[in-house]
Amino acid sequence: MTKPFAVRKSVTSYRVIYGDTDQMGVVYYANYLRWFERGRSEFLRQIGLPYGKIEEQGFHFPVTEVSCRYAQSARYDELIKIETELATVGRATLLFNYRIARESDDTLLATGSTKHACIDHAGRIARLPKALESALNSQRSGAT
């Protein structure tokens, strides 16, 4: 059973590089998934628990589901913002929502979500690590 999780949004800026685009100068669709990962990594860093520290404890969070809805194209050299929020937390799952927008005018480029299972070093489903629960609970009590 999952429960809603109201925590501050993490916002990360990123400038589109030439390698992100296709021959038409438009960002290749799969790069939005990389940007979701970037947002998620920054979210964890901002709550004081970078993903590397979670891995050091023997846990991983593989993606089990992903969705992305494209609204407009991002282009080379645009500055975008990646808004990431943790939508729900289960005993062994996390669900993140994303909003990607052009930073200059807040034009929506894409929205999406990723669902993650928590697994241990052997690849078995595991309860969320205590360190992550503590970091999330401290954010929850500090959220406005």
Nearest one of 59, 35, 34 to 133, comparing CA atoms: 59
Active site residue 20: no
- DSSP secondary structure code for residue 11 in this structure: E
**Choosing from 20, 22, 105, 106, which is the catalytic residue?**
22
Nearest to 116 by CA among 56, 10, 41: 41
- DSSP letters spanning 79-117: EEEEEEEEEEE-SSEEEEEEEEEETTT--EEEEEEEEEE
Residues with catalytic roles: 22
